[in-house]
Amino acid sequence: MPSIPPWEKANDMPRWLIPGDMPGALPRSGMPFPAVALLAVLLAAIPWTAQADDGKMSSPHPGTPFTAVSAEACGACHGPDGSGPRVDMGRGDCAECHAGSHELPLLTVADTPGADRPGRGHGPNLARMALIPAGPVTVGNDGREITEGKGNLDETPEHVVDLPAFYIDLYEVTNLRYQGFVNVTGHVAPRHWKDGKIPPGKKPHPVVYVSWFDADEFCRWEGKRLPTELEWEKAARGTDGRIFPWGNHFELERANTPQRWAAHGEAGDTMPVGSFENGKSPFGLYDMSGNVWEWTADWYLPYPGNEFPDTHYGEINKVLRGGSWYDCLSYGCGLSAPTYNRSRFTPKIRNNSFGFRCAAEAPKNAPTTTPTTTPNSGAAPSGREKP
């Protein structure tokens, strides 16, 4: 009999533990509301601890208890109160909470969207975000090479833009992460969630069937925002003007693309976020090519100096970046994996290859250092250890 993945076991947690799941004053368990309120107070007052690698007990985030919201997502590994032993967080199913790093603590309410959002009164959690330093980025191109396939003139001309520092998610927003938003806010679940439940095995996959408005609302709920188109390109491309997040040559086994599925003779689909360690961008971001197209904050407009008219320009369509497991070859836009590829759709549309990640403002005194990777190296940026 096959084993049940930890993220599936977590579904067995009592639903009344999730504050946003309470239908009025009486939770589904039948526990009176005053009892739930008392339990919440007690949980908040208890200094929950986590088992550290050295065997000593220490608070994962001082003053922040491991709460029921976290327990639903992580209880299968760490126990319902967060006191379970540490496990190998380098495993793929741990990436959503720990970003594949052994250095990050247990997930707590400070790290996961909780019942007190929106309006919790403090900034976004930055634990699983990359700080992109201030400085220039090369944007667009002056015409694709023939090996990249036919592109679109909206990618031209190549130009340099100076951007302030910002934060951006290391991973695309997953179904599991989006579920917290749906549970707490009552936001409509994606259409492929039967009866409002994530499809089996899809918790670590990027959420799809989300419109620009869905993505914008989720990021705001987390205290973040959608990245601008230029921020997205810098996070994917780095500072050396590379064509793909990993370098200047397309490689099948570095991203979830339709070309990879075709080579394997299989039907395409999304994959768990962070599946391609050797496909990271210079700043350590995963899936900046392939998996799902990602909504950005911007309207689809021509670049400065672009002299090619397009009827789609204007405040009509929002820009998507990154390509996906399902390409646009059918209508001639060429290989969508390059970091400068642009796509656009009405912000109301939802489909099975559109997702997103969030960004956040950085302090004005943020560093201006740059990554030290070389094209096609697949190396982690300076200061960030590989998990």
pLDDT, mean of residues 63-89: 48
Q: Is the pLDDT at 163 greater than 70, yes or no?
A: yes
- Give residues with Cβ within 8 angstroms of 27, minimum separation 6: 16, 21, 33, 36
pLDDT tens profile 190-209:
999 999 999 999 999 999 99
Closest CA to 350 of 111, 195, 187: 187
The predicted pLDDT at position 254 comes to 97
Domain coordinates in residue numbering, the chain: 6-98, 129-361
The predicted pLDDT at position 363 comes to 83
Comparison of pLDDT for 85 and 299, the residue scoring more? 299
In angstroms, how far is CA 171 from the centroid of its own chain? 3
pTM for this entry = 0.68
Is residue 23 reached through a cis peptide bond, with omega within 30 degrees of 0 on the bond before it? Answer: no
Comparison of pLDDT for 26 and 290, the residue scoring more? 290
Residue written as token pair 């390409």: 327
Comparison of pLDDT for 212 and 24, the residue scoring more? 212
The predicted pLDDT at position 24 comes to 34
- As a whole number of Å, the end-to-end CA separation of the chain is 31
Give the pairing of strands 293-300 and 354-355.
Answer: parallel
In sign, the C-alpha dihedral spanning 320, 321, 325, 327 is: positive
Rounded to an integer, what distance in angstroms lies between the CA atom of residue 73 and that of residue 112? 9
Closest CA to 112 of 93, 95, 125: 125
Closest CA to 387 of 52, 104, 145, 5: 104
Closest CA to 190 of 210, 173, 205, 206: 210
Q: Are 130 and 283 in contact (CB under 8 A)?
A: yes
Q: Is the pLDDT at 304 greater than 80, yes or no?
A: yes
pLDDT tens profile 265-303:
998 999 999 999 999 999 999 999 999 999 999 999 999
The predicted pLDDT at position 380 comes to 33
Q: Are 201 and 108 in contact (CB under 8 A)?
A: no
Q: Is the pLDDT at 378 greater than 50, yes or no?
A: no
Residues paired with residue 300 on neighbouring β-strands, in sequence order: 314
Rounded to an integer, what distance in angstroms lies between the CA atom of residue 289 and that of residue 253? 11
The predicted pLDDT at position 18 comes to 32
What size, in residues, is the chain?
387
The predicted pLDDT at position 364 comes to 80
The predicted pLDDT at position 78 comes to 59
Residue written as token pair 């190396």: 379
Q: Does domain 129-361 have CATH number 3.40.640.10?
A: no
Rounded to an integer, what distance in angstroms lies between the CA atom of residue 295 and that of residue 123? 22
